[in-house]
Amino acid sequence: MLQATIAMPRPSLFENYALIKDLLATFGPESLSVMRNRAFEEFQMAGIPTQKDEEFKYVSLRVLDEGGFQPAYGATVDRHTLEQTSLGKIDAFTVAFINGQYAPELSTAHALPKGVFVGSLQDAFGIYPEEVEKHLGKIATLEGRLGSSNDERFVHLNTAYLGEGAVVFVPKGTTLERPVHVLYLTQADHGPLVSHPRTLIVVEANSEAKILESYLGLDGVYFTNSVTEVWLGDDAILEHNRFQQETDDAVHISNLSVHQEGNSTYTSNVANFGGKIVRNDLNVWLNGEHTETWLNGASLGTGEQVVDNHTRIDHAKPNCNSFEVYKAILRDRSVGVFNGKIFVYEDAQKTDAKQTNKAILLSPTATFNTKPQLEIFADDVKCTHGATIGQLREDALFYLRARGVPKAQAEAMLVYAFAAEVLEKITISDAREALEKVLYAKLSESEELPAE
């Protein structure tokens, strides 16, 4: 277990690296140390973005300079506390982390099918070293790809601090009947902390799995900077559900990068119901013919939250389909952002790509910024995108109120119906039901919930 024991007053993200660089070097092969050092140099050159950077124009990250986030250290969370969280009782093979450190006492990845691995990165290096080194750090990159604003600075920051992490490995020809839960808990009850969770998911050819990746905040001010790498072999199928319910004072920045080989199917269901500042980047590289990609997202912003979702799909091969639906529900003084990029490469004929973005503003002070982008270099394709921003339908509210439904409940019902298109894609039933409860609870907490 990696644990930083040196403390300095309010160090910056740059100074932190000097504190634990030698400690990190004790973990993993020499090639990993080289990767860390190179990544830190890249982050130093890029720096923390400002709103002058096009990719971050709607979100201020000054808090990362001013917040004094110290390297995360271990905390104690018992099973009873875990079970009180929104996703603490999911029936799954679970690998759990507290403040970025592996928590075997909360993990239940036992009696796995032959060849399947669900556990810590450190253990994975011991059991599947070749597979880990083959994929780790190779998927979360935009090097050599189309686009003029390919920003990877937070991936570099995560890689610089790469130590603990989760690995899910599903070998060829395996159908995993029970879902996997990769759980990251944060408890920052002794001052601002920063952790850099790293997850590697490999689903080999002709295999199938369902994974829930969740980030739950228990207490305090902290910064979570996560990177998840997913690799799908030929004919592999993965349902990947990602949920964050960080604390109201947390910063959550994530990068999810996916590599698909031929005939594979990847479904991403993302739900953002927490955090003060949230930035998600989801990048998918279609590297084989006849792939299918489904990206579904639902975000709820209340108070003064900022929720910034960026997606990118690279259609690099012909005969591939991608379908994307991202929705946002915003009230109070919250800010929502969606930027969806689709790149169709010259060889990617017969591409079928559809992108839909919708937002509901429940307060006059809520704002939403949307920017769909299509860059097409092939001539035999079908690519569409659409974006709508509106309010709840008055006639629907009137209909429910006329039948005795209280205004707050009527609004919650309509909002859920709006989000249901995304949540209903989650086929892990207890996870879906838990997220429905979180959505209703968040709506009832809103500062501007209409009075009766």
pLDDT tens for residues 368-416?
999 999 999 999 999 999 999 988 878 888 888 888 888 877 887 888 8
* pLDDT tens digits along 434-444: 998 898 888 77
> Span 168-175, mean pLDDT?
98
Kindly indicate the confidence band of residue 446, based on its pLDDT and cuts at 50, 70 and 90. low
Give CA–CA dist 73/84, Å, rounded. Answer: 22
The total domain count for the chain is 1
Most distant pair of Cα atoms in the chain: their distance: 69
* pLDDT tens digits along 100-140: 999 999 999 888 999 999 999 999 999 999 999 999 999 99
Q: Does residue 236 belong to any structural domain of this protein? A: yes
* Confidence at residue 6, expressed as pLDDT on a 0 to 100 scale: 40
Residue 386 belongs to domain spanning: 12-393
* Confidence at residue 148, expressed as pLDDT on a 0 to 100 scale: 66
* Confidence at residue 414, expressed as pLDDT on a 0 to 100 scale: 85
Q: Does residue 400 belong to any structural domain of this protein? A: no
Cβ(95)–Cβ(122) below 8 Å: no
Q: Does residue 404 belong to any structural domain of this protein? A: no
Residue type, 418: F
* Confidence at residue 430, expressed as pLDDT on a 0 to 100 scale: 94
Q: Does residue 133 belong to any structural domain of this protein? A: yes
pLDDT for residue 5 is more than 90: no
pLDDT for residue 10 is more than 90: no
* pLDDT tens digits along 27-42: 888 889 999 999 999 9
* Confidence at residue 4, expressed as pLDDT on a 0 to 100 scale: 45
Q: Does residue 409 belong to any structural domain of this protein? A: no
> Span 343-357, mean pLDDT?
96
The tokens for 116 are 């399947």
pLDDT for residue 74 is more than 80: no
* Confidence at residue 424, expressed as pLDDT on a 0 to 100 scale: 93
Q: What is the mean pLDDT of the chain?
A: 91
Report the 10 Å Cβ neighbour count for 297.
Answer: 24
Cβ(190)–Cβ(143) below 8 Å: no
pLDDT top residue among 166 and 420: 166
Q: Tell me how many degrees the CA angle 91-227-132 measures, rounded to the nearest 5.
A: 80
Q: Does residue 16 belong to any structural domain of this protein? A: yes
> Span 240-268, mean pLDDT?
98
Q: Does residue 4 belong to any structural domain of this protein? A: no
* pLDDT tens digits along 188-202: 988 899 999 999 999
Q: How far apart, in Å, are the Cα atoms of 195 and each of 71, 160, 214, 257, 421? A: 7, 12, 15, 19, 32
> Span 71-94, mean pLDDT?
88
Kindly indicate the confidence band of residue 7, based on its pLDDT and cuts at 50, 70 and 90. very low
pLDDT for residue 157 is more than 50: yes
* Confidence at residue 19, expressed as pLDDT on a 0 to 100 scale: 79
Q: How many CA atoms lie within 13 Å of 65's alpha carbon, on the beta-carbon side?
A: 7
pLDDT above 90: percentage of residues in the chain: 71
Cβ(208)–Cβ(179) below 8 Å: no
* Confidence at residue 449, expressed as pLDDT on a 0 to 100 scale: 43
Kindly indicate the confidence band of residue 244, based on its pLDDT and cuts at 50, 70 and 90. very high
